[in-house]
Amino acid sequence: MEAVILILGLLFLAFMALGVYVTVKVVGAAKRGVDRTITQARRTVEETALRAKSFGQAGVAGELAQLRLALRTSMRATQEALQTGAAQDASLSESLGLFQRLSVHGQELDEELKRLEREPDRTTVASLLPGLKQRTQRITHSADSLRWAARDRAQRFADDDLEALNVQIDVEAGALRHWTVEEPSGGAGASAGAGGAGPAGAAGSGVGAEGPDALTARDPRAQTGYPWQKTVRPETTN
């Protein structure tokens, strides 16, 4: 009896521990989802404000907003392209590592541009603009190079796969169109002799002159459906 109670107690504790673990995982996943949503919302609001400043403000403030917007747009597009490609192509992991190092410089530049937006001494900020533009161009050029190289690589693999698939389909299509005609039993002489013997011979001659064997039609209801196929409607009788 004591052993049964002990086992039940252990099972209860195990279920309790499992419930706590599942609850913690669910809460953690929900928290991460909320954090991502907040981050994306904050990023959207900030970039919308940058677009408004870049088009609506002239002078130093507008130029700083344009630099930040160009930097953030290039870095985000490259990050998405590399992360998506690395999930299918392991060789992009090194490129992703290089981009992470580049992101450190991009983050530092973005923070500097953000501080300069609040700087009241516009004359000093204007004197820094040429150097800031050059740094922005160097970072965005490197990010764009990584992104387009990854896209070109993915496109090349897709083209190679499509070419190989086309070759296989051509071979299969040729095999589907190839069939042999069996010679009638008795040879050509027998067929000719039977042909001169009368109606029976004429019938035999007709059989010998036939073309390729008839191909049995497939039941359309037994074929696999695809999105572009129409559904076969059953025939109804009155």
Provide the angle, in degrees to the nearest 10, between the axes of the packed helices 60-86 and 122-176: 30
pLDDT at 143: 96
Q: First-to-last CA distance in the chain?
A: 74
CA dihedral 9, 14, 19, 25 (to 10 degrees): 160
Neighbours of 205 (CB within 10 A): 16
pLDDT by position in tens, the chain (length 238):
777 777 877 777 787 777 777 777 776 666 666 666 766 666 676 767 677 766 666 688 889 989 999 999 999 999 999 998 888 888 888 899 999 999 999 999 999 999 998 888 989 999 999 999 999 999 999 999 999 999 998 888 889 999 999 999 999 998 998 876 555 665 544 444 444 444 444 444 444 444 444 444 455 555 555 444 445 555 555 4
Quick count: other Cβ atoms within 10 Å of Cβ 76?
13
pTM score of the predicted model: 0.55
C-alpha dihedral (193, 197, 200, 203), degrees to nearest 10 = 50
- The span from the CA of 198 to the CA of 188, in Å, is 17
Continuous segment of H or E residues that includes residue 122: helix 122-176
